[in-house]
Structure 1
Amino acid sequence: MFERFLHQTPFFRLVVPLMLGILFQIKFRLPSQYNPYILIGLLIISFLFLFLKLTASYNLNKIWGIVISLYLFFLGLELASLKQQKEYSFSDDKHTFIATLIEQPEEKEKSVKTILKLDLIKDSAQWTQNSSIVLCYLEKDSLSLQMNMGDEMLASAYINEPVHTGNPYAFNYKKYLSYKEIYNQCYIQSGYYQVLTYNKGSKVKLISNRLRQRLLNIYYANQIHGDEFAVLSALTLGYKSELTPEIKESFSTSGAMHILAVSGLHVGIIYIILCKLLFFLQRIKYGKYLQSAIIILMLFFYAFITGLSASVFRATIMFTFISIGKIFTRQVNIYNSIAASAFLLLLMNPYAIMNVGFQLSFAAVLSIVFFQPRLYSLLTINNTLVDYFWQLVSVSIAAQIGTFPITMFYFGQFPVYFMLTNIIVIPAVTIIIYGAFILFILSFS
């Protein structure tokens, strides 16, 4: 049975050794100078197997599979090693540097938080290039409150490594930042920086940020303010700057915190909405290709207007593979689609495997796919409305089965109201997303 599963899910066989290689390198930080030679050697051997048609033999085909697995394992080692080589430590002196804001600033109680990408740093009497990513806090004043993503600044500040408390069981903020490729932080006082130019950096992210700001202004124009604006903007556009600690605590306690982080739930709802709206395309020739193309484009557009966050992009990739799989097979193997999306995401960013959101997303989806049909089949309900609620309950229980160990490991708590909350939340979120998009369309018309 397991061999049949492996045969039906080729990407599962590919992603496992890649993951093991990444984790191995993160844990043990092995020297990597010989990795390129090993990768080239294994690649040549694998091509020789294909060129000489040795894979036709059952036993030699297994050896070829081992060679491919070893290649992916060492590829994982190399990808993680390349990330580790970007670590950079600054001296204890005060530094003068030119940097670009690569995230929209977020107002805090006494400061403005953002992420900087260094362009140049002054070393003695000369400027040298430096591409380090730095967590930055600007002293709150009239200038810092007007800063935007894409602003390039000249600044002077001490750049230090984040400090871990030392408690082995406490949240390690330094390690958390390192998996985002942020190894340093700084605090810039008022008067020690000035804006040089605007609209620097990734044009795609700049346009994405501007479009999201325009959509947020539509909420303001329709008299949506305060906590309502904070929740609605987080739920639909992934804008969480306005969320107060009280709102976060309320949603966390009730087990509904996941709806405030635009992620797989929201992308899944949009995917279902689009599938229902475009069902008629399946009746025409090549309609399924057109339907999948439109769905994929709209999902990426949603990722675009929500700021291209990692969680939305991850879910978009996952549903893209599911949609593509439906084109070529009548009954898509969901496990293979999930493994394919994980494989691509890890190739793009091997540190994604250490992201809690990445772990929760894939654990939840896999658990829903495996457990939900089994849980749902335990009860046979003839009433349509009751059956709908039982579907929601079975999905919620299935998701919690997969995410429970991760939630307890990282957060030490478990939302006991998750079933009741999700029965209310999922239909409500669906209606809110419908309403938000209707509002956006009417505002642009």
Structure 2
Amino acid sequence: MDCFSHPLIRLVLPFTLGMVGANCLMDSLNLSVLFVLCCLALAPTLLHVKSKQPQSKKVFGMWATALAFLLGMTLFTSKHERISQGIPVDSSFCQGTLTERPVEKAHSWALNLRQENGSHILLYIGKSRSTSPQTDSVQFASLHIGDTILAQIKYLTATNTCEDNTFAPYYDYLFHHDVTATAYCNAQHWDWKPSNLSFNPLSVAKELQERMHQIYDERGIKGEAGSIVEAMTIGRKTILAQHTRKAFTEAGVSHVLALSGFHVGVIVMLMQVFFFSSILPRKWKWGVNLLLIFTLWGYTAITGLSPSLVRATTMFSILMLCQTGSGTFMSLDSCALTFFTMLCINPFYLFDIGFQLSFLSVSGISLWSKSILESCPSSNTVIRMLWNIIFISLACTLFTTPLVAYHFGKAPIWSVVSNLAIIPFVYIIMWGSMLWWLSLGWIWGNGIILLLVEWAANLMNEIVHFISSSSMSTLEWKPGILLTTILYMCILFFTFFYTSRVKKAH
């Protein structure tokens, strides 16, 4: 299979390279010049778009590639300049709207504030020495999303001008998440005003999440199993024990605890089974897919509108819209279109680790899924399903391990084994939780479902802890950017070699 036979991929590659180039050459780029160059490249591209001559098609391809490259540079530069303009001019005072619940640190409280231009400031307010910790907790708990925070700054650091190499990666991470500065103020030098809005979507979403937590708590889902169920279903990880987080990370299944593309994918599969999507005629799939999209966004809203889940829901929404047109859910072209659309929405997604891992996983599934099914030695439905699950997990692990090692300096050795071991329990927890919420009024049946969900969560937790306790659960390995690139080139070469052989054999 030749990926370059897909026209969208041939445009996405230069588009992405343009963004990478813009990030490397940001100090020497001018947005106006890039815009003019885009316009100059657009004209010959449009002139050759309808030509049927072979020579004109080659010229069109060259100009389209140049246009995609320049467009990537232009969008990234525009985003960078807009966020850079959000750095406060007055470093002694800041004002912003609270976008998340305050987070308690060792010596301060962290508040994420949105400014008028859309950029953010991460404000750290020192803990008071004159009041008790309980008084501080009550005060910050009274803050709501949408409230206005005013603070007299003691010191402020812009995230795009950090000269300390030790903290440079962290400040790059903050800047690519629209945080223009970090600031600190003393406990007595800040104030707040309640929100003037009668309806704040973020605040309502967080309140819904808290209400769902209360229902879980009232109905008896508590302890370690309860914290795992809440993390997997409503995205609430505040009560998750540190040793549990560490065990899931070392076992290579930390994605299970963070609402993301994995959970959205499971929900899509469950809803497709519920609506008999696979056997419906194509003319009905438009309505089913639109209903699925509304369901996904409703789920995203009631679980707090976390950035990773919003991104994953956007991705799957575009994929499902592509499916209604092409009939294929995860074709390379639909994945490329989704990738292109999301980078147009926010070019900084390119440097988000969750975004990178999501699309590497989806790309691995897209490239391998057809060949995996065709190479299955049995026609039995159950065997083919197990075959598909095992090798899809292998494909995802193959495509994500080098990047995980590059970013985190360690590669989970038992990732495939642990993923295969917990997949049945993930489905039981997700299915069971959905049925549990639907049967809240049926006390007897609701209790049985609760026992099943708790059993699955406890057993999954024990399996993960057993795997992570192995002395060889992770490999300490941090490849450089060059070695990581070479590894992905080898993976792609092996993928195309294997899939082409399977295609010829069938």
TM-score for the superposition, normalised by structure 1: 0.86
Q: Within 2, Cα distance between the matches of 1:276 and 1:404?
A: 31
* Superposed CA RMSD: 2.9
Q: Which moved more, 1:110-119 or 1:251-260?
A: 110-119
Unaligned runs of 5+ in 2: 128-135, 443-506
- Structure 1 residue 22, shift from structure 2 partner: 0.6
Q: Within 2, Cα distance between the matches of 1:273 and 1:296?
A: 13
The code of the aligned residue for 1:352 comes to Y
Question: Alignment partner of 1:436: what SS?
Answer: helix
Q: Within 2, Cα distance between the matches of 1:189 and 1:229?
A: 37
- Structure 1 residue 334, shift from structure 2 partner: 0.9
Q: Which moved more, 1:368-377 or 1:338-347?
A: 368-377
Q: Within 2, Cα distance between the matches of 1:202 and 1:355?
A: 30
Q: Which of 335, 355, 358 is the equivalent residue of 2:355?
A: 358
- Structure 1 residue 115, shift from structure 2 partner: 1.0
Q: Which of 397, 404, 411 is the equivalent residue of 2:394?
A: 397
Partner of 2:146: 150
Question: Alignment partner of 1:242: what SS?
Answer: coil
Partner of 1:34: 33
> CA contact under 8 A between 1:25 and 1:81: conserved in structure 2?
yes
Judged with a 3 Å threshold, the aligned counterparts in structure 2 of structure 1 residues 13 and 387 are, in CA distance, closer, same or farther, namely: closer
- Structure 1 residue 242, shift from structure 2 partner: 2.8
Judged with a 3 Å threshold, the aligned counterparts in structure 2 of structure 1 residues 369 and 428 are, in CA distance, closer, same or farther, namely: same
- Structure 1 residue 326, shift from structure 2 partner: 3.1
Q: Which moved more, 1:225-234 or 1:417-426?
A: 225-234
What per-residue deviation string (whole Å, max 9, x for no partner) do you get for residues 120-173 of structure 1? Answer: xxxxxxxxxx76411122335131232222111222123223567525xx8821
> CA contact under 8 A between 1:118 and 1:132: conserved in structure 2?
yes
Q: Within 2, Cα distance between the matches of 1:444 and 1:96?
A: 52
- Structure 1 residue 281, shift from structure 2 partner: 9.2
Partner of 1:74: 70
> CA contact under 8 A between 1:22 and 1:77: conserved in structure 2?
yes
Question: Alignment partner of 1:56: what SS?
Answer: coil
Q: Within 1, Cα distance between the matches of 2:103 and 2:237?
A: 9
The code of the aligned residue for 2:124 comes to Y
Judged with a 3 Å threshold, the aligned counterparts in structure 2 of structure 1 residues 43 and 131 are, in CA distance, closer, same or farther, namely: same
Instruction: Work out the number of aligned pairs and report it.
Output: 426
- Structure 1 residue 24, shift from structure 2 partner: 0.5
Question: Alignment partner of 2:368: what SS?
Answer: helix
How high is the sequence identity, in percent, across the aligned residues? 26
What per-residue deviation string (whole Å, max 9, x for no partner) do you get for residues 408-438 of structure 1? Answer: 1111111122223112322211111122223
Task: Report whether the alignment pairs 1:134 with 2:109.
Answer: no
Judged with a 3 Å threshold, the aligned counterparts in structure 2 of structure 1 residues 374 and 327 are, in CA distance, closer, same or farther, namely: closer
Question: Alignment partner of 1:149: what SS?
Answer: coil
Q: Which moved more, 1:406-415 or 1:384-393?
A: 384-393
Q: Within 1, Cα distance between the matches of 2:441 and 2:291?
A: 20
Unaligned runs of 5+ in 1: 120-129
Q: Within 1, Cα distance between the matches of 2:382 and 2:283?
A: 35
- Structure 1 residue 299, shift from structure 2 partner: 1.9
> CA contact under 8 A between 1:234 and 1:260: conserved in structure 2?
yes
What per-residue deviation string (whole Å, max 9, x for no partner) do you get for residues 388-417 of structure 1? Answer: 444332222111110111011111111122
Q: Within 1, Cα distance between the matches of 2:158 and 2:227?
A: 32
Partner of 1:212: 209
What per-residue deviation string (whole Å, max 9, x for no partner) do you get for residues 44-65 of structure 1? Answer: 3333445xx4x22222122123
Q: Within 1, Cα distance between the matches of 2:215 and 2:266?
A: 22
Map residues 297-336 of structure 1 onto 2, 5 A cutoff. Answer: 297-331=294-328, 334-336=331-333
Question: Alignment partner of 1:65: what SS?
Answer: helix
> CA contact under 8 A between 2:272 and 2:278: conserved in structure 1?
no
> CA contact under 8 A between 1:235 and 1:259: conserved in structure 2?
yes
Partner of 1:62: 58
The code of the aligned residue for 1:56 comes to K
